[in-house]
Amino acid sequence: MIERYTLPEMGRIFSDAHKYEVWCRVEVEVLAAHAAAGTVPADVVEPVRNAPPPTAQAVDEIEKTTQHDVIAFLSAWADNTTPREAAAYVHFGMTSSDLLDTALAVVLTEATDEILGKLDALIAILRDHGLEYADAIKVGRTHGIHAEPDTWGHRVADIAFALARSRDRLRRAREAVGVVAISGAVGTYSNIDPDIERQVAERLGLSASPVSTQVIIRDGISEWVNALAIVATVLETFALEVRHGQRTEVRELQEPFGKGQKGSSAMPHKKNPIISERLAGLARLVRGYMTPVMEGIPLWHERDISHSSVERIALPDAAIAVDYMLHIATRLASGLIVNRDRMIANLESSGGLIYTSAVLLELVEAGMSREDAYALVQGAAMETWNSGTPFRETLRDAAKTAGQQIDEDRLDAVCDPQRYVERLAPVFERLRGLS
């Protein structure tokens, strides 16, 4: 991921320096378990533990010859070990994927914890925002067309709960990727005791894979990327709502616009929804990683490395992008400007057409057939669309022509937008308990 979208902590987690720190940690845990079992001399553990991780430059230089990153790492680390002979027992009984997959599990769980922390914070902000605007009456839209009254808090509640479900998926995906395998070539434990794997998993705070070949099958990693993609797409849902609400014709919402900020190089009046548009673009990127990562599930026999090149790019990029998206979505939610007056103006702009559904049901309850009531209401509504005459007036005229009596008091009751707020009370009770 380019530096522009990489936050410091997530950048550190996926840095080469941290990768080699984790590789060293895994190798030391394996070596310590071997020493405790008497497989290797006990006095080799501390020299290896005290050897500083190799630099990325040192590993890269050796890899130019070996064309194998794990061997290059082991050689560069051995150069840092005193006495060097202690390094002879490093990687004992292991194959490359034992190190790579186990270290990847550590890194992915660290990255997940960073993202989960940001998700918790954003969900809390959206919960409070939704409750604040529980009574902010606005027009609901279907197909982009005015439908019935709604509230802005209701829409926010929907997104908050979707993000909470997305968080639950990511928590489950953390378990799916938090799996280690220390089982040797082909995964048969031919040169390493299964108890070593169990001990290492326990010391790393992870779980041991119930079975592996030479690699851990990539269903768990695919689940993790898919979970990130869902988080990204729910964030895009929030962004899309803001983008629509900030349109000049709508003007119900507006992104925070700081002092000195510029909207356009050519048009000084512009305030553009740039945060929301950035969220939409990055969501596309994260979704794009789902297929190539899933294609790493079927590999040739016990192992090939066609998944490796994909994961080196896709996994850091997906995590870094979602981490950044949560960062800017939090800024968006915290500073979002809600224009209640404009919401009311838009609500009233159709002359009362937003109440046709309620009026239809009222006429049915008053004794009309649904077919006749629908025809009456639709006819009045089309007249309002075409002439701009308020719906209440066209409805009275249509009812008079049809020989029907309209109960004005009942009409007042069903055309009161406040009743929509009252009906949503259970939603906001549930939202209040969201954490």
Q: What pLDDT was estimated at residue 257?
A: 80
Say if residue 265's pLDDT is above 80. Answer: no
Question: What is the pLDDT confidence band of residue 410, given thresholds at 50, 70 and 90?
Answer: confident
Q: What pLDDT was estimated at residue 269?
A: 79
- Confirm whether 143 is a catalytic residue: yes
- Estimate to the nearest angstrom the gap between the alpha carbon of 6 and the chain centroid: 16
- The string of pLDDT tens digits covering residues 75-131 is 999 999 999 999 999 999 999 999 999 999 999 999 999 999 999 999 999 999 999
Put simply, whether the predicted model's pTM sits higher than 0.85 gets the answer yes
Say if residue 181's pLDDT is above 90. Answer: yes
Say if residue 258's pLDDT is above 80. Answer: no
* CA pair distance 164, 234, nearest whole angstrom: 10
Q: Which helix (H) or strand (E) holds 142?
A: strand 137-142
Say if residue 71's pLDDT is above 80. Answer: yes
Q: What pLDDT was estimated at residue 366?
A: 86
CA torsion sign for 344, 350, 352, 358 is negative
Q: What pLDDT was estimated at residue 106?
A: 98
Q: Which of 190, 264, 306, 369 is catalytic?
A: 264
Q: What pLDDT was estimated at residue 259?
A: 78
Q: Which of 68, 91, 129, 143 is catalytic?
A: 143
Q: What pLDDT was estimated at residue 126?
A: 98
234 vs 414: which has the higher pLDDT: 234
The pLDDT of 42-48, averaged and rounded, is 96
Say if residue 212's pLDDT is above 90. Answer: no
User: Taking a C-beta distance cutoff of 8 angstroms, is the pair 433, 127 a contact?
Assistant: no
Q: What pLDDT was estimated at residue 57?
A: 96
% of the chain beyond a pLDDT of 70? 100
DSSP labels, 215-274 = S--THHHHHHHHHHHHHHHHHHHHHHHHHHHTSTTT-SEE----TT--S-SS-TT----H
Say if residue 176's pLDDT is above 90. Answer: yes
Question: What is the pLDDT confidence band of residue 270, given thresholds at 50, 70 and 90?
Answer: confident
- The string of pLDDT tens digits covering residues 344-395 is 999 999 999 999 999 999 999 888 999 999 999 999 999 999 999 999 999 9
Q: What pLDDT was estimated at residue 104?
A: 97
Q: Which helix (H) or strand (E) holds 187?
A: none
The pLDDT of 334-343, averaged and rounded, is 97
> 429, exposed or middle or buried, with CB in 10 Å at 0-12, 13-18, 19+?
exposed
The pLDDT of 411-423, averaged and rounded, is 90
% of the chain beyond a pLDDT of 90? 87
- Confirm whether 222 is a catalytic residue: no
Question: What is the pLDDT confidence band of residue 246, given thresholds at 50, 70 and 90?
Answer: very high
Q: Which of 326, 427, 283, 274 is nearest to 123 (CA)?
A: 326
